[in-house]
A and B are shown apart, each in its own frame.
Chain A
Amino acid sequence: MKKYLRENSLGLVFGLLFLIVLVFQALAGHADFNERQVTEGLPAVSLARYVTSASFATDVAENWQSEYLQFFLYTFLTVWLLQKGSPESKSLDEAGLESDEEQKVGRYAEEDSPKWAKVGGVRQKIFSMSLGLVMGVIFLGSWAAQSIAGVAAFNEEQLSQLQDPVTWSEYVIMPDFWNRTLQNWQSELLAVASIAILAIYLRQRGSPQSKPVGAPHSATGVEG
C-alpha cells in the first residue's frame, strides 16, 4: 500500500486537490449565485440546486475546455516546435515524428512495449497519436458543454433582466461566449509560453519540469 501511494503520489495528490478545490468552487459559486438572487428579490437556492444548474456547469466547463486545449496544443505542437535552452522542448535536431527505432514501434518494439505499439496498421497509428487525440476530443467535448450550459445560464440572466432568450446558434457568436472562451485561452497559452521560456534561465532542483541546476542555459531538452 505504501509502495502504491509513493509510486502514484503525483496522480493521487493532484486528483485529490482537484476534488477539494471543485467542492470549494461549488460553495463559493453557490454563495455568489444566492447574493444575486437576493439582490433580485428572489429566494436563495439550495447547494444541490446550484451544482445541477447551468451556471455551475458553465463555470466548470469553460475552465476544463481551456485546460484540455492547452494540453492538446502543448502535446501536439511540441512534436515540431522547438525552444532553444528549454527543458520543455525536444533537442534542436529532434523536431518531427522521429524514427520508428527511436519511438520503439513495429519491429523496434520491445517485449514490454504496449501491444498497439507492435501491432502495425491503423491501430498502431491511432495509438501513436492517442494522447493528443484524447486531449483534443475532451477539449471539443467540454467546449461544446460550455456552449450548451452557457446559453442556458445566459438566458436565465436575460429573463431576469426582462429580455428575450437567445438560441444556441445566436449564443455561440455572442460576446458572452467568446469573452468567457478567450479569457480562458489567453491564460493557458501564457502558462505554456512562461514555463517554456522561464525554464531556460531558472531552475527547480529535482523537478522534471526543470533542467539540472548546473545545466547551461543553452542546454535544450534535458530534465532535472
Chain B
Amino acid sequence: MKIRAVTIAAGVVLLAGCSSVPDRAEAASGVALGMLTAVAAGNGESACATLAPETLHELEESAEQPCAEAILDEDLPQPGQVIGADVYGQWAQVRLAGDVVFLAVFPEGWRVVAAGCRSRGEQPYDCRLEGS
C-alpha cells in the first residue's frame, strides 16, 4: 500500500512539469503568430519581446540598429493561418500560410529562433531572421 502511494506520488511529480503536446503546440503557434502580427502592425517592441536572445542579438548586430527598428525592415511575411505545428523536446516548428517559424523553450516560454523560413528540401531552411 505504502509502495503504491509512493509510486503514484513519484509519477505525479514527474508529470507535474509536463504539458501535453497539443497544449505546447498551441502555445508555440500563439507566439509565432503574435510575432508576425506585431511586425505587420509596426509594433517592433512587441515583436522583439518574442525573439530568442541569440536571434535578437544577431539581428541587432547585422542591422546595426536596435531590434525594434531592425525587425520591421526584415521583410517578414504577413501573418497567415496556422496550418500545423510540431513540438519535440525543447523545439517547435510552426507552419503558417506563407511562413515557417522555429521556436525554442526559454524560462519565460516559447521564443522565436528563426522566422521567414523557406524550405530547401534536405538542406536546413533558409530564414530571413535567425540566430547565429
A: residues with CB less than 8 A from B are 37, 40-43, 45, 48-49, 52-55, 152-153, 155-156, 158-165
Contact = CB atoms under 8 A, between A and B. Distances in A.
B105 to A, nearest CB: 8
B28 to A, nearest CB: 11
Contact of A163 (B14, B52, B106, B124): B124
Interface residues of B, number: 28
Contacts, number: 63
Given A42-B90, A155-B86, A156-B91, 11 more contacts: A40-B54, A42-B105, A43-B105, A52-B17, A53-B89, A159-B86, A159-B91, A160-B90, A160-B104, A162-B102, A163-B124
Contacts of A158: 88
Interface of B: 14, 17-18, 52-54, 86, 88-93, 102, 104-107, 114, 117, 119, 123-125, 127, 130-132
Going nearest first, the 8 A-B pairs with the smallest beta carbon separation are A41-B54, A159-B91, A156-B89, A156-B88, A155-B88, A162-B124, A162-B125, A165-B86
Contacts of A165: 86, 88, 93
A159 B93 contact: yes
A159 to B, nearest CB: 4
Nearest to A152: B88
Nearest to A37: B90
Given A42-B106, A49-B17, A155-B86, A160 B52 contact: no
A126 to B, nearest CB: 29
Contacts of A163: 123-125
B124 A159 contact: no
A41 B132 CA distance: 9
A158 B86 CA distance: 11
A159 B88 contact: yes
A164 B132 contact: no
